[in-house]
Chain A
Amino acid sequence: MTTPTTISTEQEILEELRATLLNQLEQGKLDLPLLPQVANQVLMVADDPNSDSSKLSSLIQQDQALAAQILRIANSPAYMPRSPIVSLQQAIAWLGLNMLSGIAFSVSVQSGVFNVKGFEKEVKGLWRHAMTTGLFGKEIARKIRHNVENAFLCGLLHGIGKPVILHTILNLRTTSETKPTWSVIEQLMNEYHVQVGKKLAESWKLPDPVQETILMYQDHMYAQATSPTKGAMITCLATHMASFQLDPSSIEEDVLRTLPVVQDLNFYPEDMDALMELQDTIRSSVECMIL
């Protein structure tokens, strides 16, 4: 059956895309990207208690773009090297194994999943938000002395469903010739990123606390999370902090400071002050990790 091509309204496009997306989701036909190979290996190495830096560095060396990126980050002002960093080995020593695997992982995911022609700026925005959330997550975790190690990954990947939806939408064949606007895409991402993220997390076999965070980081959900790592609750505040930092008009500071999650984390006004003071440091760390 052929349908005549029409110029659709934004609302119509939204509804059509939503129906198709839902259909794909329900039928399990969603085209999930593969976890970039390097990212996959990095996760395995980082998870392996017997791993050491040499494994990681040989992994990174296989990917020239990644190696270059790591050198750039290690040399950036945020990490303040005492002398210029010229070798990968030196970069690893300077950044540290954990930080490095975080960077390697994020860089390879960034170039894989977060690579969408035509929406580079917007995708960069998503990525920046993810990184900022990861870094705030780490600081929140430090404050409550709870699982600092895991919080970064939880924050970084909490919204991983969003770029996947973007990919999917742009690859859908629709009856309309009109390309969806960013606001339509954004709306769909907001509606479905958790469901899509969950599927992706399962297929990528991400660590359990990260999977739980992806599913439950939102305000109305974190209370149901059961992982003792508290990744979902930590990420909930971290994502609000990231939104506020990247676009102060997105949420009023007063509202942010009195969110239920702030109270549930037992953050007093002085604790929020301390978190706010970290904004500049986090901003500069993020900037040097963005491709």
Chain B
Amino acid sequence: MSNDTQYDIVVIGSGPSGQKAAIQGAKAGKRVALIEQNREVGGSCVYQGTIPSKTLRESALQIVRFQRTTEVFEFKLRDDIKIASLMKRLDQVVKAHGQFMKEQIGRNNIDLFHGRAKFLSNREVQINGIDGKPLTLSAKFVVIGTGSSPRVPDNIPVDHEHILDSDSILSLVYLPKSLTVLGGGVIASEYASIFALLGVQVTMIDTSDRPLRFLDKELTDEFCGAFEESGGKYQGEQKIKEAHWDGYSKVITTLENGDKIESEKLLVALGRIANIKGLNIEAAGLTPTSRGLIPVNDECQTTVPHIYAVGDVIGPPSLASCSMEQGRRATCHALGLDPGGNPENTPMGIYTIPEMSSVGLSEQEVIEKFGGAIVGRSKFNEIARGQISGMTIGLLKMIADPKGEKLLGVHIVGEGATELIHIGQMGLLNNVKIDSFVENIFNFPTLAEAYRVAALDITKKRRR
């Protein structure tokens, strides 16, 4: 094999995980190849995931805010806001972000290959170009960051026209009158709340009794309240028997209990599957788990020590934020560099409307671990900033140990939750005492004041 095709690190996939793995390698002075099957770099994060869904959400919020303002000022917005105008903005944001990433890769002298990668052996990766021509690279280390795709159950024929997945929902050209959303996870809840806000009649169906079960119940209760207020319906503890387009004007979803739900479109958001099809991981000596994931240890190292797997392809938490860090760490580990301390207290941000975020332990976990907990609460409509902005929804919960001294978790629902959480995260990382939130001064009026109010609530509940 010629020197041209020999690399220190070959990274497969240019999503957040692969990109950071590649950049870390290049920064360490290594020869790095990055293989991406799409024309653009950035992965599903940029094209089908984080960026588009958040842009759509932001545009929807702006429209609704504007609509509310126009009511105050007594002029009317056109009724037929086309989703196309929302999407146009989305297209611009996505393009700008993609371009930025491409430049970043170029700046770091990473060799970018456009093609589908597959393993020939544990050190050889073949790239099949779009013209069908193969090229084989050899590598000292390989990082797999091929991401995930929407899971489609056998009993639901996704045609991307009437029955959509989280990729094709982004190409709607008009707002449907009604939308059924299958699933109760992050993606399902985010899209359900965006479309409900835009005036679409949304029905969410899931097996769980409430959406986003892994979150604090008080948070999801607030979310469900807001969702219902904008006309959404959540049907929990339901199993789906089948769904089909009636070949005419609506999609019919049949539940195991016999109920039928009709809607113009159906969104299937029932989890994701790792992209390992076609990768031929067996040739590298790897075997997927029973759930189709690539098994790794804490360092993201697979069972073949010089092959790493990062991001969605190794399963939860399946977040862009974590994927990036896994990519960086995997390369550091491979090259024997110190990646720094292990990340702790990673926050979780859910961009529903209202948004939700949490970090640290839940109330239940604290009770189980410490034999009790003191919980402080602050409602946004009871603090000045919330009142000024007319917020009706919003809750910040601080969880402390049974003595009410140590901060152990923060859970927030309401505007700005995904930003506000970082104060809590820093508090947790630095073992900040509950009293510090009371004794120190925050800007006024801000939502951050909710921390102070919640901390005060805890101090009041301490046993004297």
Contact = CB atoms under 8 A, between A and B. Distances in A.
B281 to A, nearest CB: 19
A145 B87 contact: no
Given A145-B160, A229-B84, A258-B131, A268 B171 contact: no
B88 interface: yes
Contacts of A93: 246-248
Given A142-B161, A268-B130, A229 B247 contact: no
A268 B249 contact: no
B168 A229 contact: no
B130 A263 contact: yes
A96 B177 contact: no
A268 B246 CA distance: 33
Query: By DSSP majority rule, is chain A's interface helix, strand, loop, or mixed?
Result: helix
Contacts of A258: 131
B463 interface: no
Contacts of B160: 141-142, 145, 148
A226 B89 CA distance: 11
Contact of A229 (B128, B131, B171, B176): B171
B159 A268 contact: no
Q: What band does the interface of chain B fall in when counting residues whose beta carbon is under 8 Å from A?
A: 20 to 34
A172 B42 CA distance: 55
Nearest to B86: A228
A149 B247 contact: no
A53 B159 contact: no
Most buried by B among A93, A145, A229: A145
Contact of B248 (A49, A53, A149): A53
B128 A147 contact: no
Q: What band does the interface of chain A fall in when counting residues whose beta carbon is under 8 Å from B?
A: 20 to 34
A279 interface: no
B163 to A, nearest CB: 11
Interface in A95-119: 95-98
B389 to A, nearest CB: 32
A93 B249 CA distance: 8
B177 A49 contact: yes
Given A49-B177, A142-B161, A266-B38, A96 B249 contact: yes
Interface string B170-211: 011111110000000000000000000000000000000000
B152 to A, nearest CB: 12
Given A95-B247, A208-B84, A263-B130, A146 B173 contact: no
Most buried by B among A228, A229, A258, A262: A228
A267 B116 CA distance: 11
Nearest to B48: A145
Contacts of A267: 130
A92 interface: yes
Contacts of A248: none
A49 B130 contact: no
A96 B248 contact: yes
B171 A94 contact: no
A228 B248 contact: no
Contacts, number: 80
Nearest to A264: B39
Interface in A237-270: 258, 262-264, 266-269
B340 interface: no
Given A94-B247, A228-B84, A228-B88, A149 B173 contact: yes
Contacts of B58: none
B159 A148 contact: yes
Contacts of A208: 84
A150 interface: yes
Contacts of B365: none
B90 A228 contact: yes
B91 interface: yes
A97 B171 contact: no
Contacts of A53: 248-249
Contacts of B175: 49
A52 interface: yes
Contacts of B245: 96
Interface string A6-39: 0000000000000000000000000000000000
Contacts of A146: 168, 171
Contacts of B91: 226, 228
A47 to B, nearest CB: 8
B316 interface: no
A209 interface: yes
Contacts of A149: 161, 173
Nearest to A79: B247
Interface string B48-91: 00000000000000000000000000000000000010011011
B111 interface: no
Contact of B161 (A94, A148, A263, A266): A148
A93 B248 CA distance: 5
A275 to B, nearest CB: 14
Contacts of B171: 145-148, 228-229
Interface string B214-247: 0000000000000000000000000000000111
Interface string A146-167: 1111100000000000000000
5 contacts: A208-B84, A209-B84, A229-B173, A263-B39, A268-B128
Given A49-B174, A147-B172, A228-B84, 13 more contacts: A50-B177, A92-B248, A95-B248, A142-B159, A145-B160, A145-B168, A148-B159, A149-B173, A227-B88, A229-B173, A263-B131, A266-B38, A267-B130
